[in-house]
Structure 1
């Protein structure tokens, strides 16, 4: 049965439920470009905005996820049964957890076919970070991905024309239409990407806080419920971690600077917040595929792989497998960063503390937005990203700081930094005169069982 896109937009705009057939038609129209049913860009934006304001119930969200999943090729990893796992996050400022986690799990003998995304809103994208490495290719054929899983054990790739094309198009359009933080669309995007991977276990990281798309715990729990229910109906065993995200993760915000932090992690130099999340997610997945008795035991195994160099070996193999020359991969893994990243920011601005005390908080959202405006992110699909732009935290939550002591370095190309950015960055740190202890990032774990 044929439908008209304007009729579907009006129906959703007026708050009515779309049928399975209508949603399938909408997703098919998104993917097609050579027939009369093709959807115009303005219509796609209008539908996303209608969904943003009127929402999708569980059935609609399941239908859109299922349709996106079926819009392209899917994997079958039967020969690796009970080894295939993955992790996905709703995104955050400084969130580079996937980068050390995938090779660490591969070093444990697991298989990680990670389909990731680009930056959305104020968050950095895993693919953008990886593309700051000269030669790294995020676009791989299905056959190439299967080969990497056989030979290396992990890969981090983007959606291609054959892999979930519907989500690739919707993902890019949400970023430029103000419809990023829509729970049914977030759930559909994340679960559809993972459902095509033929997984044995999945960790879904839902961030909560002022630097997350979900500002309130109730929102995060609703998103978790959507994803758990959709995953169950698709036969996907998923667990959701609700995690705090008010402060930046790790010490780096940007693209190439987060790759540098990743390599440091793979040498065992890992900040406490990153260590907790990387090892907890890894421990959960190891337990779910019966590689250890408890999540805590699994976390210790992952930490050992980060510290003994085995995860670094897998990272190097992944780089080479995805197009990076052996010379560049070796230089990066040996921490010869200047030999890898030829382009440096024009300016390095140091921001100093205005008073002495202890760091209580660092406003991750403010820093993420400013970093994006300086060139590390994009305001519309296709915008260039300046990989060299970023921020390095010299102080983190809980640290002591003296007046006039540097607490952050900003790498940028702006001649107007002092007048437009410096003051806002200066005000994004909260310093108090009492001791501060950092709390666990993990609020709760919601299991699929």
Structure 2
């Protein structure tokens, strides 16, 4: 078959067959089909879309383009969790040990961050000695023994997706729901989980800014999971402000420890319990969400979740004493308090601005070559709806002064991020909707 004919077919609104999609993805991955033809096809998809069946076929083809993890040797139903990205989102560090303590094995491969803060792997490396590189055998053995492992992604997981995403990034075709959904789900399917819970962010600090866009993306991903035989649930959660109170690598690990120990801010704790409840039900360890929630709360209250986190850290070569003494992680030499200039109520907190402020301190990567400072970042003291008085601290900056550190620019971003109004403001909801194969439930 000729590639140009497939481009024309999609351009004119046609539906590509499984074989035609395989031709495109295999040809592009092998180098037989050039960038300019796949760019044209991606733009046709951007404008014409794809059917559920086409999207599922694209997803499976990308999943098959590289290594696929076989988790069948691990007893039980393996449940994976994926977030579409946010600021102060530390749920993976909480959910992996929490679910493992409740009997659901979590075998998770995560990536590094590019942007405002590090990814899950970067955060874990704030724990001295923690090793994110593991052989397949070590990974499977740890999940079987401990119940949880979080490692760096294999270099050959979904190479087709890596190549296609790099092209979409420079051809203005990133924001296509079928292409986003297949990109996310191809990695989840290649990672081998039996069931998947998706945390789809919505709001100013999210990739999808509106609730309707977020629901569309969630429906596409749940549709793919259903089509390929994986139980999949998507939860739409707010990213109109950072999820947790900390932004930065060691700071976020510390906050995860606080939540696992029964402390921590209510927003991060609540979203973790919601996502964890769906994971526990899909993992067959609870009959309904209410039972699942009570089970997870009990694991936090009796200390078993925190003990499991220690066990996971030790299994991956890390210093588990950080759980009792977080000061053993990298820190910052300097703190700066950004204070409110007027009395009132916090009416908005721009999550993206705060994330960029943290990046200016060195908490994230501006480029792939950037070196992260694991000890720096921000701690929030005020959220939307909170009353505030002039002179009260809004945010504390944790910084290590040095070349390239833009402290004053970070302070300016924080001031721009916060809006204070005279009238009281309602706190925004944390969860907007849940999408399953049965449909959409709005809250």
Given that 2:117 and 2:247 are in contact with CA atoms closer than 8 Å, whether structure 1 keeps it comes out as no
SS at match of 1:349: strand
CA 1:257–1:52: 2 relative to 1, 3 Å: farther
1:126 aligns with 2:114: no
Equivalent position to 1:24, from 10, 17, 22: 22
1:216 counterpart (210, 213, 219)? 210
Counterpart-to-counterpart distance in 1, 2:66 and 2:87: 30
Match of 1:445 among 434, 437, 440: 434
Contact 1:141–1:160 (CA under 8 A) maintained in structure 2:
no
* Distance of 2:119 and 2:9 partners within structure 1: 33
Q: In structure 1, what is the Cα distance between the partners aligned to 2:253 and 2:291?
A: 28
Match of 1:354 in 2: 341
**Residue 80 of structure 1, CA deviation:** 4.8
Q: For 2:362, what is the secondary structure of its paired residue?
A: helix
Pick which of 284-293 and 260-269 moved more.
Answer: 284-293
Q: For the residues of structure 2 that align with 1:220 and 1:186, how far apart are their CA atoms? A: 11
Is 1:257 the counterpart of 2:255? The answer is no
Q: Is the 8 A contact 1:172 1:381 kept in 2?
A: no
Q: CA deviation at 1:181?
A: 4.0
What are the Cα deviations for residues 102-157 of structure 1, in whole angstroms up to 9, with x where unaligned? 11000001111122233355565222222333333333332222112101111122
Distance 2:172 2:368 in 1: 12
- Structure 1 distance, partners of 2:43, 2:363, is 26
Structure 1 residues 254 and 22, CA, compared in 2 at 3 Å: closer, same or farther? farther
For 1:122 and 1:50, locate their aligned partners in 2 and report how far apart those are by CA, in whole Å: 31
Q: Is the 8 A contact 2:111 2:152 kept in 1?
A: yes
Select the residue among 227, 233, 237 that pairs with 2:231. 237
Pick the aligned partner of 1:329 from 320, 326, 331: 320
Aligned partners of 1:205 and 1:241 also within 8 Å: yes
**Secondary structure of the corresponding residue to residue 371 of structure 2:** coil
Cross-structure match for 1:144: 138
Once superposed, what is the RMSD of the aligned Cα atoms? Answer: 3.1
Mapping of 1:191-340 within 5 angstroms?
191-324=185-318, 328-330=319-321, 332-337=322-327, 339-340=328-329
Whether contact under 8 Å (1:88, 1:204) holds in the other structure is: yes
Aligned partners of 1:277 and 1:441 also within 8 Å: yes
Question: Who is 2:441 aligned against?
Answer: none
- 2:378 match: secondary structure: strand
Residues 144 and 284 of structure 1, relative CA distance in 2, 3 Å threshold: same
Match of 1:135 in 2: 129
Work out whether residues 252 and 390 of structure 1, in 8 Å CA contact, stay in contact via their aligned partners in 2: yes
- Does 2:389 align with 1:393? no
Contact map agreement 1:253 1:391 (CA 8 A) in 2:
yes
CA distance in 2, matches of 1:371, 1:149: 33
SS of match in other structure, 1:188: helix
Compared CA separation, residues 302 and 169, structure 1 to 2 (3 A): farther
Give a deviation string over 1:357-398, Cα, whole Å, max 9, x none: 222331112212332344322233343323233111022233
Is the Cα–Cα contact under 8 Å of residues 115 and 193 in structure 1 kept in the other structure? no
1:433 paired with 2:422, answer yes
User: Per the alignment, in what secondary structure is the counterpart of residue 88 of structure 1?
Assistant: strand
Q: Secondary structure at the match of 1:421?
A: helix
1:123 and 1:23 map into 2 onto residues whose CA distance is 35
Structure 1: 5+ residue runs without aligned partners? Answer: none
Paired residue secondary structure (1:427): helix
Does residue 64 of structure 1 match 2:58? yes
Q: Is the contact between residue 246 and residue 365 of structure 1 (CA under 8 Å) also seen in structure 2?
A: no
Shift of 1:289: 3.5
Is the Cα contact below 8 Å between 1:353 and 1:406 reproduced in 2? yes
Q: Cα offset for 1:402?
A: 1.4
Q: 1-side partners of 2:117 and 2:43: how far apart? A: 21
**Quick check: 1:120–1:175 contact (8 Å CA) kept in 2?**
no
1:29–1:147: structure 2 CA closer, same or farther, 3 Å change rule?
farther
Cα distance in 2 for residues equivalent to 1:310 and 1:89 = 25
Task: With the length of structure 1 as denominator, give the TM-score of the two structures.
Answer: 0.85
Kindly indicate whether the alpha-carbon contact (under 8 Å) linking 1:173 and 1:381 is maintained by their aligned counterparts in 2. Answer: no
1:76–1:423: structure 2 CA closer, same or farther, 3 Å change rule? Answer: closer
d(CA) in 2 for partners of 1:105, 1:220: 26
Q: Deviations over 1:201-258 (max 9, x none)?
A: 3211111111111111221121112111111111011011111210101101122211
TM-score for the superposition, normalised by structure 2: 0.86
User: Cα gap change, 1:417/1:161 in structure 2, threshold over 3 Å: closer, same or farther?
Assistant: closer
